Amino acid sequence: TAVPAPAGAGSGLGILSVTPNGPTASSRESDSIVVIFDRPMAALTAIPEGPGPALLRIDPPAAGRTRWLGTKTLAFTPERRLPQATPFRVTVPAGTRALDGTALEKDFAWSFETMRPRLVKHFPQDGQKFLKPDTRPLLVFNQPVDKGRAKGRVSLIGSDEGGREKKWEV
């Protein structure tokens, strides 16, 4: 969803909205980075071939195409899906000019983070009893998870035969 952004100071160029902004809940939310300006930035033309204008600075860098959607909306579409659980900072640089000559008075920057891993299913279920000692737990996440990076960050908590809490590191 679009999150309103503060307009530029004074009579300079302003930015009305940016998306994504902040943490994302689905991978689709970061399929495009979109900026809506407060005045026309580009004349209406046929969609050009090629990579489009390099107006946005994205950190970490991402290859992709930039296109105007109408006269005020700029959309960047990455060539590949952005890496999950990664913070990005996007900047529209100071001096960016609208068609009427007004300029962005200072850099406009915002951040977003692509979707983090989330546990969506597990076995055994909470409170499940009478499991065989060799039962292997199953954890299903909303995206691939590197076992090496998960080490020390995922643990299972249960109880032993006496009802005492027991914790296992994954």
Residue ranges for the chain with pLDDT beneath 70? 1-10, 46-53, 170
Q: What does the pLDDT read at residue 7? A: 46
Q: What does the pLDDT read at residue 158? A: 74
CA contacts within 13 A on the Cβ side of 52: 19
Residue type, 72: K
Q: What does the pLDDT read at residue 156? A: 78
Q: What does the pLDDT read at residue 9? A: 44
pTM: 0.74
Beta strand pairing status for 22-23 and 108-113?
Answer: parallel
